């Protein structure tokens, strides 16, 4: 049974309410209420992309940077690192003003929206790639100059691969098809959007050896309307470095396990003078530094890995493995 309040207790409660309510209202100034409702809006540069969408696009292009840097390492045969510097939105006229003259602008079409986008590569980066592809070392900073047709032909395959890798990275947010169209050396000739149109610019830093170069991607936002409408920030917030699960790891190790490596057994070594080499005839015997019952080195992939003893197995010359090279007794 609930407790019944006395009249005195009821009067005390009512008096407390009448005093506390006005004080609670007075603790929140009217100026503070109005300050929370005011939102600054830049009419000159309206933001078509939210911060969450920009972070999503940054994750997409970080995936591209990782795969493209691996490709450049294999093609240029040197240490290459590609990283995303920033993802911004600005007027197309401002992007054109930021383009150096001369420059290397590779224009590709977004087939689904029939719009154009730009891959801007600094001339210094193009010249460095050309020199590495031709067997040079590309030491020192290059001076910006107009790229010749021959140099453009040499790097055309790398640019087309870059466009392909961009398309592959975009598959995580939209099924878009990118097709390389033409090359321009001046920003004024690469008119892909009205001057007042908002564009998304992704800036990359490309490091080849000790030198660093710039590369930019420019997408007009009107070409991404369908993508932005379907983009679910929560769904794509986890885009980034892909961690291999157990199934993919086991599949990778199974493929590596079937990889063939050359194994060479060194049966002996000796030293000859040039005169002794010239005087060699069939039937001569060369004495090696390995005794008849000694162990021989087995090279795997050109490096010494194990020790063994030569012999015969099923009618063929064989080597029986006796110990690993990293055996503490070996001292290696």
pLDDT tens-digit readout, 149-186 = 888 888 899 999 999 999 999 888 888 889 998 898 88
Q: Name which residue leads in pLDDT, 82 or 174.
A: 82
Domains of the chain as residue ranges with CATH: 10-37 (no CATH), 51-253 (3.40.1550.10), 260-324 (2.30.330.10)
For residue 331, the SS3 value is: coil
Dihedral in degrees, nearest 10, Cα atoms 202, 54, 160, 259: 120
pLDDT reading at 237 higher than 60: no
Instruction: Determine the average pLDDT of the residues in 285-295.
Output: 82
Q: Is 209 exposed, middle or buried (0-12, 13-18, 19+ CB in 10 A)?
A: middle
pLDDT band, residue 29 (cuts 50/70/90): low
**CA–CA distance, 61 with 203 (Å, rounded to integer):** 10
What does pLDDT average to over the chain? 78
Under 8 Å between Cβ of 231 and 114: no
pLDDT band, residue 106 (cuts 50/70/90): very high
Q: What pLDDT score was predicted for residue 331? A: 45
Q: What pLDDT score was predicted for residue 17? A: 55
Q: Name which residue leads in pLDDT, 3 or 195.
A: 195
Q: Name which residue leads in pLDDT, 40 or 159.
A: 159
pLDDT reading at 257 higher than 80: no
- How many other CB atoms are found less than 10 A from the CB of residue 162? 25
Q: What pLDDT score was predicted for residue 8? A: 74
pLDDT reading at 35 higher than 90: no
pLDDT reading at 279 higher than 50: yes
What Å distances lie between residue 35 and 27, 29, 46, CA to CA?
15, 10, 22
pLDDT reading at 22 higher than 50: no
Q: What pLDDT score was predicted for residue 210? A: 82
Instruction: Determine the average pLDDT of the residues in 190-218.
Output: 88
Q: How many residues does the chain have?
A: 332
Using a pLDDT cut of 70, give the percent of the chain over it: 76
Q: What pLDDT score was predicted for residue 160? A: 92
Q: What pLDDT score was predicted for residue 171? A: 87
Under 8 Å between Cβ of 91 and 81: no
Q: What pLDDT score was predicted for residue 306? A: 87
For residue 202, the SS3 value is: strand
pLDDT band, residue 217 (cuts 50/70/90): very high
Q: What pLDDT score was predicted for residue 216? A: 92
Q: Is 187 exposed, middle or buried (0-12, 13-18, 19+ CB in 10 A)?
A: buried
Q: What pLDDT score was predicted for residue 44? A: 55
**CA–CA distance, 173 with 232 (Å, rounded to integer):** 9
Q: What pLDDT score was predicted for residue 64? A: 92
**CA–CA distance, 57 with 151 (Å, rounded to integer):** 31
**Reported pTM:** 0.56
pLDDT reading at 278 higher than 60: yes
Q: Which residues neighbour 62 within 8 Å (Cβ) at sequence distance 6 or greater?
A: 83, 84, 240, 241
């Amino acid at each position: 049974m609930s407790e019944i309040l006395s009249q005195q207790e009821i009067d005390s409660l009512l008096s407390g309410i009448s005093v506390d309510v006005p004080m609670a209202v007075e603790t929140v100034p009217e100026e503070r209420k109005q300050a929370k409702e005011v939102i600054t809006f830049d009419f000159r540069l309206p933001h078509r992309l939210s911060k969450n969408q920009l972070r999503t696009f940054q994750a997409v292009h970080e995936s591209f940077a990782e795969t493209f840097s691996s490709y450049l390492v294999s093609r240029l045969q040197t240490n290459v690192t590609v990283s995303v510097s920033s993802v911004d939105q600005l007027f197309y006229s401002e992007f054109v003003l930021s383009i150096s003259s001369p420059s290397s602008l590779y224009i590709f079409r977004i087939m689904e929206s029939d719009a154009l986008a730009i891959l801007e590569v600094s001339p210094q980066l193009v010249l460095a790639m050309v020199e590495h592809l031709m067997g040079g070392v590309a030491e020192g900073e290059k001076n910006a100059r107009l790229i010749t047709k021959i140099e453009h032909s040499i790097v055309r395959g790398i640019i087309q691969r870059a466009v392909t890798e961009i398309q592959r990275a975009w598959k995580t947010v939209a099924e878009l098809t990118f097709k390389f169209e033409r090359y321009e050396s001046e920003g004024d000739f690469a008119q892909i959007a009205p001057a007042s149109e908002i564009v998304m610019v992704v800036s990359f830093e490309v490091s080849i050896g000790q030198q660093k170069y710039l590369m930019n991607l420019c997408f007009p936002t009107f070409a991404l309307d369908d993508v932005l409408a379907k983009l679910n920030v929560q769904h794509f917030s986890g885009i980034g470095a892909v961690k291999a699960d157990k199934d993919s790891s086991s599949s990778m190790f199974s493929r590596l396990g079937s990889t063939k490596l050359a194994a060479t057994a060194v049966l002996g070594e000796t030293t000859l003078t040039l005169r002794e080499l010239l005087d060699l005839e069939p039937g001569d015997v060369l004495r090696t530094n390995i005794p008849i019952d000694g162990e021989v080195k087995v090279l795997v992939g050109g490096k010494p890995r194990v020790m063994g003893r030569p012999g015969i197995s099923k009618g063929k010359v064989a080597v029986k493995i006796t110990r690993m090279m990293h055996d503490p007794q070996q001292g290696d």
